[in-house]
Amino acid sequence: MSRAVKRALDVALAGAGLVLSAPLWPIIAAAIRIDSSGPIFYGQSRVGEAGRHFMVLKFRSMVADAERGRGPLQADVDDPRITRVGRVLRATAMDELPQLWNIFRGDMSFVGPRALRPEEIEVDGRGASVPLDAIPGFLQRCTVPPGLTGIAQIYAPRDVSRRQKFRFDLLYIRRRSLRVDICLILLSFWITMRGTWEARERKF
């Protein structure tokens, strides 16, 4: 699939998504504000194509200052930092609606490896903290735009290591095509409609 075709698909879908989801934004914002104190949006720096950093906005799904004393670790399924409204937002992926703007402006694509935080770490089996850029496959996954959804996002359970998730990302990079992208987008819509992003089981 050419870059032009992929970009055209991204612009069309992101534009439609922003328009169609606009009525939900004030409802989500009000629910977040009522449920817990803190900002409505949460900004994060992410690593994009060729290692370029860009800023994404998400609807806040955790308590304010959630990383205090813990650092930028990935959330667990039963993470106590996630708010009641946040659990609904994460299960339906509505916390990531603001990232449609990142897709529209070209920071991201609809399908690709997940956009990771530059300072994110993972705790290995020995309990040691490992930066993500030290995990095999990190550089290869930076050769394409990051995506809102992808093979790893759909098929890799949350508790799988980043090393395993990077293998899913490399599989996508090798096999990416218009057909693959459309299939992954349709699967993502299905998971969103069912509200099961936080309750997926291993499929491979």
User: What distances in angstroms separate CA 94 from CA 10, 42, 183, 192, one per listed residue?
Assistant: 18, 13, 20, 8
State the pLDDT confidence band at 65, using cuts at 50, 70 and 90.
Answer: confident
pLDDT band for 203, please (50, 70, 90 cuts): very low
Beta bridge pairs of residue 116: 47
On whether residue 173 sits in a domain, the answer given is yes
- How many other CB atoms are there within 10 angstroms of residue 71's CB atom? 10
Q: Is residue 202 a part of any domain in this protein?
A: no
Residue 147 belongs to some domain of the structure: yes
Domains in the chain, number:
1
| Overall average pLDDT of the 44-64 stretch | 91
Please say if the pLDDT value at position 79 is more than 80: no
**Domain contains 113:** yes
* Mean pLDDT across 70-85: 71
Residue 23 lies in a domain: yes
Both structure tokens of 88: 């609904």
* Residue 11 within a domain: yes
Mean of the pLDDT values across residues 4-9? 95
The mean pLDDT value for 155-161 works out to 83
Task: Give the whole-angstrom CA distance, residue 80 versus residue 43.
Answer: 20
Decide if 174 is inside a domain: yes
Domain extent at residue 134: 3-194
Per residue in 105-147, pLDDT tens?
999 999 999 998 887 766 655 656 777 778 888 889 999 999 9
24, 121 contact by CB (below 8 A)? no
* Global pTM value: 0.85
Residue 201 located in a structural domain: no
pLDDT at 64 > cutoff 90: no
